Amino acid sequence: MRPDIVHKALGNEVRKEILIRLSKKEKYLTELAREMDMAPQTVDFHLNLLCEIGLVSYEWREGKKYYFLKDKKILDFLETRKPIPLHAHPRPPHEIMEEMLEDIVKRLERIEKKIDKLKLK
């Protein structure tokens, strides 16, 4: 697991809270959402991300999906309370899209210049 991905994931307070709560006991979605006083959809989004990067896993029992920490070593990181570097904080989607658009515009401008040079020859 790449450290930068973990830093980005833990740059969010909701995900940190989920990890801390799961460190005490396995929980299912509704139980966790109720404890955190959040919409289940919001908690589900963050749980899926934590599962995807390998910090959390789940198993089905009694018709419920129980979530648990895959490796409790992550708690060492949370307990040291080291600040997450600013460059590792996730950016809002609109900023990512703006950056992508700027990159596309630059690439198109370079292509346009190459085409203009070919026309002059």
CATH number, domain containing residue 38: 1.10.10.10
Q: Which residue has the tokens 């899926």?
A: 48
Same domain for 96 and 117, yes or no, is: yes
Long-range (24+ apart) CB contacts under 8 A made by 29-33 are 29/64, 29/65, 29/67, 32/67
Nearest to 27 by CA among 61, 71, 55: 61
Same domain for 72 and 106, yes or no, is: no
Q: Which domain holds residue 117?
A: 91-121
Q: What is the pLDDT along the chain (121 residues), one digit of tens a residue?
A: 556 666 677 778 899 899 999 999 999 999 999 999 999 999 999 999 899 888 899 999 999 999 999 877 777 777 766 655 555 455 666 776 788 788 888 989 999 998 988 888 6
Instruction: Provide the domain count of the chain.
Output: 2
Does the model's pTM come out above 0.75?
Answer: no
Same domain for 60 and 98, yes or no, is: no
d(CA 84, CA 37): 25
